[in-house]
Amino acid sequence: MGKDKIRRFEENKSFKCLYQPDFEEVFRRDHEMKGRWHAECFGNENPIVLELGCGRGEYTVGLARKYPDKNFIGVDIKGARMWRGAKTATEEGISNAAFLRTRIEFIEWLFSPGEVSEIWITFADPQIRRDNKRLTAPMFLDRYRKFMKPGGIIHLKTDSPYLHEYSCALVKKNQFEVLAEIKDVYSDMERGMLSPEMSEILSIKTHYEQHFLSQGHPITYLSFVLPEDKKIAAPEWNHDLYPR
């Protein structure tokens, strides 16, 4: 392991906003923070918003700055990446941002029913042909709604036509309520087609996003309401339609 990574892992231990449960603490058993994020982590009852696969946590920190009346938790398995977000939140004293280092597969052991209001999925791997790994596949949506409030919202920002179109097909198949669908975020922004608030939120750029933008890939956005109980069906889907 490189020196820089070792230094970041060491510094991670000092961040009060960073939670790093051991595997045994979350593998098919409730973690001690489950149901206690409002009281123990944030000290308020404001809505909790997750960023799944947060990487360096640009959305977690950016949204926390913009919305002091909501709480944000970035979730990722890579500690050296989250170090960036946790350090910025610590240095700037952003008290409504936290980070959780864990596998997203364990998330239902970390949050209790109704504890989370919204989820952002930012530039996740499309997991082509790997339905059980894709973060918007029925298996993951079923996990999320175990701990989401009624009317909980999913936001998906991606450069991947595969992930965007798959998610749109799933939303359509299940007749979920769509709040927004944007095929080219920055083109719509330039043409003044987005509200000032939407423009501000969607212009937060992540590390991966900057890389994809430099390659000329359009960035898409989809947000929808995740219903509480209806069975979620997979869409009819041709895996070969989109190469990435």
- The answer to whether residue 183 forms part of the interface with ligand SAM (CB under 6 A) is no
Q: By C-beta, is 49 or 104 nearer to ligand SAM? A: 104
Site for ligand SAM in 35-94 (CB under 6 A): 53-55, 76-78, 81
Among 209, 222, 227, 232, binds ligand SAM (CB under 6 A): 209
Task: Return the H-helix or E-strand segment holding 74.
Answer: strand 71-76
Q: Give the phi and the psi of residue 224 in degrees, each rounded to 5.
A: -150, 160
Kindly tell me which residue out of 111, 208, 221, 224 binds ligand SAM, with binding defined by CB under 6 A.
208
Q: Residue 240 has what DSSP assignment?
A: T
**Under DSSP, is residue 159 helix (H, G, I), strand (E, B) or coil?**
coil
Two structure tokens written together for 39: 């009281």
Binds ligand SAM by CB under 6 A, chosen from 15, 42, 83, 123 = 123
Nearer to ligand SAM, 166 or 227 (CB): 166
Contact 137, 105 (CB under 8 A): no
The candidate with the shortest Cα–Cα distance to 80, out of 158, 2, 17, is 2
Shortest distance, CB of residue 243 to ligand SAM, whole angstroms? Answer: 17
CB atoms inside a 10 Å sphere around CB 108: 19
If phi > 0 it is left, if psi is from -120 to 50 it is alpha, else beta; for residue 196 that is: alpha
Decide: is 207 part of the binding site for ligand SAM (CB under 6 A). Answer: yes
When binding is defined by CB under 6 A, the residue of 26, 50, 64, 104 that contacts ligand SAM is 104
The least distance separating ligand SAM from the CB of residue 160, rounded to whole angstroms, comes to: 9
Question: Which positions are annotated as active-site residues?
Answer: 125
Task: Answer whether 121's CB lies under 8 Å from 154's CB.
Answer: yes
**Which residue in 60, 96, 206, 220 binds ligand SAM (CB under 6 A)?**
206
Assess 134 for contact with ligand SAM (CB under 6 A).
no
- Judged by beta carbon, residue 162 or residue 208, the one nearer ligand SAM is 208
Contact range with ligand SAM by CB under 6 A, out of 27-35, 102-110, 192-200, 232-240: 102-110
CA 55 remoteness from chain centre: 10
Which helix (DSSP H) or strand (DSSP E) does residue 97 occupy?
strand 97-101
Residue 123 near residue 74, CB atoms below 8 Å:
no
Minimum distance from CB of 208 to ligand SAM (Å)? 3
Q: What is the enclosing helix (H) or strand (E) of 101?
A: strand 97-101
Task: Tell the smallest beta-carbon distance from residue 78 to ligand SAM (Å).
Answer: 4
Interface residue list for ligand SAM (CB under 6 A) = 53-55, 76-78, 81, 103-105, 122-125, 206-209
